[in-house]
Structure formats: C-alpha cells, structure tokens
Amino acid sequence: MIETPKHIQDLKSYKPGKPIPEIVQEFGLGRTAILWNNENNFGAAPKALEAIQNASANSFLYPDPACLQLRGDIAALVGRKTDNIIVGNGSESVFNYILQAYFTGDDELLTSEGTFVAIYIWAKAHNVPVVKCPLTKEYGFDLEGILQRIGPKTKAVYLSNPNNPSGAMITRDELIQFIERVPQEVMVLVDEAYFEYAQDLTEAYPDSTRLDYPNLITLRTFSKAYGIAGIRIGYGVGTPELIAPLMKVKLTFEPSNLAQAAAIGALTDEEFLEKTVANNTRGLRYFYDAFSEMGLNYIPSFGNFVMIDFETADRAQALFEALMRKGVFVRQLPAFGLPHCIRITIGTPEENEWCVEKLREVL
C-alpha cells in the first residue's frame, strides 16, 4: 500500500454545501439573495466577457507562459515594472507559489486566527506549520502581538487587509510601522483582495503596491470588484528578486489564455468598476443602518461584506438555517474559527433589501 504523508492525511478537503438549485427546490423558494461567497452580484465586467469571447477563437493555442501583456498592464496600473508582477489562478495560487518557492524544513508561517481560511489549508498541504495570534476584540489583526511572535523559524507573515471574514482594516500608518519592525529576512504578505472597495471607503487604507520594501509582496485578485471569480485569476506585486523564484515554480501555462484575456479586458472597464464600488459603499451604509436598528453587533467593514457577532454558535447556526429557508444565503463561520459569527456579502440593492426584510422576520 502506498503511504500518504501524515500532513495530507490530516488535511480536510473542501466540502461544498448543497447546490443552490437543489436548495431552491427543497424549500420552494421563489426569490433568493445569494450573499455567502463575497462574489460580485452585478456580474462580470462586460469588457472582460468581450475579451473572453474574442480570445476563445485561439483556444487551440497555448497561452503566453510569461503573461507579458497582462503583467505589463498590471504594472502600469500599480506604477511598477513587469518584473515586479506575477499572475496566477487567483491570488491564493500566488500564495501557493510562495509556499513552494520559499518554505523549507522547519520554516513557519505567522498569521492570525480568524482570517482567510484557504491560507491555513494551503500551508498544511505544504506541511508548513502555521503560528496564529488571536484577533483583537475588534476582530482585527493584533500587529503588536504578531511582532512579538516572530522567531528564528518565521519565514513570512500573512496579513489580510481588510481581513476576511471580519472586514477590519490595517491603516497605512499601522502597516508601515509594522513592516519597518519586521526583520528583512522575513517576508510580509499583504492580501488586498478587497482593495478596490476599501480605497473608496477611507483615505487611511494603504496601497501596499506603492510601498518600497524588499521583503513585501502584495496579493490581489480579479474575483471581487471585477466580477470574474469563476475565471480564476489574481496577481502578486513585489521586488524582482522576490518575484523571480515564484516564476520558476509557476505552472508553465497558468493562467489560461481566456483568464489572461479576461483580466486584460477587466482592467479597461472603468465604468463597471465605478458602478460596483459605488454599489458596495451604498450597500454597506444600508446594512449598517438596518443592523443598528435591529440592535445587532456588526463589525464595520472595508470589504464587500459585513460580519455580525451573534455571541453563540447555536444562535448563529439557527439564524443561518432560518434565513436559508427564506431564500437568503449567508455564511456561518466555523471554518474560520468564528462559529458565533455570520458574514453577509453586499449584493444588489434588491438583494440587500430582501436580506434585511427576512433577517427582521427570523429575529
């Protein structure tokens, strides 16, 4: 019998819930609000879809392995050079490259409890120990606590900004002060998946691609504001010295030609981006007003979602199930270590109103 390594035996596979059509049929739902995956419910950027259509004729050809046009367009967007950019099948794919290229032996990843769950999964898949610091009382990263935990085995620190699932933000001043206290032999990985939303909400939000540190890598994605989560494409920004090893471990023809085309098209669709970001800002304010009126303990968010603390896992589970029976799909958070909390994505105005109406009913 072929033996499976223990860290793979212990790894829990992603277990998706029932398909939405099956749930709709089971409960006889006539109207729904799908607010559980932090997707962009306005759909995909039209120029991304147009680019996919145009590129599909060349699907018999391998994609550009260096992704030169897309990397050049991203470089222009963030004010860097092509050698500062790497792209992959989503930002978590770039995180996977980092684990492959840099972690050896007893190297550890240092991060927080209650953050993006895929980080823990990919680290375990690579047999990389993860050291987790508790969240603050406001559900944010305890930067001082993380600094105190940096040790000789720490290879990288992962920060989700804003944090998923809580929405809490690290300000520009806080991030700079943190990076300047991290030893230069320790990488700082800043995940800015919700960058486009966050920068519209406050001037204090940092653009870490503009910070000049030799140990900093920024992760971003096209899955959120640009609405092409199903295409799977994201990117990383860092010094050429940090990016070059990632290019060595990247799968040769990843991402696909359709994914590269979609991202190139999305970057030109300013009208769609403005529309979806404005909807998110309005949606957050609408949820805040409604949740305050209901007396709910919500966490102010800088993403496209709001997390609510219901104090107990039983209450959160009951609300999750009651809302689903009424056609509102939200995310309970046991996988994130926050079973007493529920995360609700900002949807279209109609979905947001339906969510609030049904939440009032189940409460």
Q: What is the mean pLDDT of residues 2-23?
A: 81
Give the chain's count of helices (H) and strands (E).
14, 13
33 dihedral zone (left: phi>0; alpha: psi -120 to 50; beta)? beta
pLDDT at 14: 66
Closest CA to 280 of 213, 234, 222, 348: 348
Please tell me the least confidently modeled range out of 1-5, 200-204, 312-316, 328-332: 1-5
pLDDT tens digits, 140-162: 999 999 999 999 999 999 999 99
What length does the chain have? 363
Looking from the CA of 160 toward its CB, the CA atoms found within 13 Å total 28
Measured from the Cβ of residue 14, the count of other Cβ atoms closer than 10 Å reads: 8
pLDDT tens digits, 226-275: 999 999 999 999 999 999 999 999 999 999 999 999 999 999 999 999 99
Q: Cα Rg for the chain, rounded, in angstroms?
A: 20
* pLDDT at position 222 over 80: yes
CATH value of 46-269 in 3.40.640.10, 3.30.70.2740, 3.40.50.620, 3.40.50.720:
3.40.640.10
pLDDT at 325: 95
- The CATH number assigned to the domain with range 6-30+271-362 reads 3.90.1150.10
The band of 16, judged by pLDDT with boundaries at 50, 70 and 90, is: low
Q: What is the mean pLDDT of residues 333-349?
A: 97
Domain-wise residue ranges, the chain: 6-30+271-362, 46-269
pLDDT tens digits, 299-311: 999 999 999 999 9
pLDDT at 229: 97
CA dihedral sign, ordered 304, 335, 130, 231: negative
pLDDT tens digits, 28-87: 998 999 999 999 999 999 999 999 999 999 999 999 999 999 999 999 999 999 999 999
The band of 18, judged by pLDDT with boundaries at 50, 70 and 90, is: confident
pLDDT at 34: 95
- Residue with token string 């398909």: 19
Distances (CA, A) of 337 to 112, 120, 122, 135, 161: 11, 11, 17, 11, 18
240 phi/psi in degrees, rounded to 5? -55, -35
Partner residues linked to 108 by β-bridges: 154
- Mean pLDDT over each residue of the chain, to the nearest integer: 96
The band of 9, judged by pLDDT with boundaries at 50, 70 and 90, is: confident
Are 205 and 169 in contact by the 8 Å Cβ rule? The answer is: yes
6-30+271-362 and 46-269, same CATH topology? no
* Segment 286-290 long-range contacts (CB within 8 Å, at least 24 positions apart): 286/349, 286/352, 286/356, 287/344, 287/346, 287/352, 287/356, 290/356, 290/359
Cβ neighbours for 192, distance < 8 A, ≥ 6 positions apart: 161, 198, 207, 208, 209, 218, 219, 220
Q: What is the mean pLDDT of residues 291-300?
A: 98
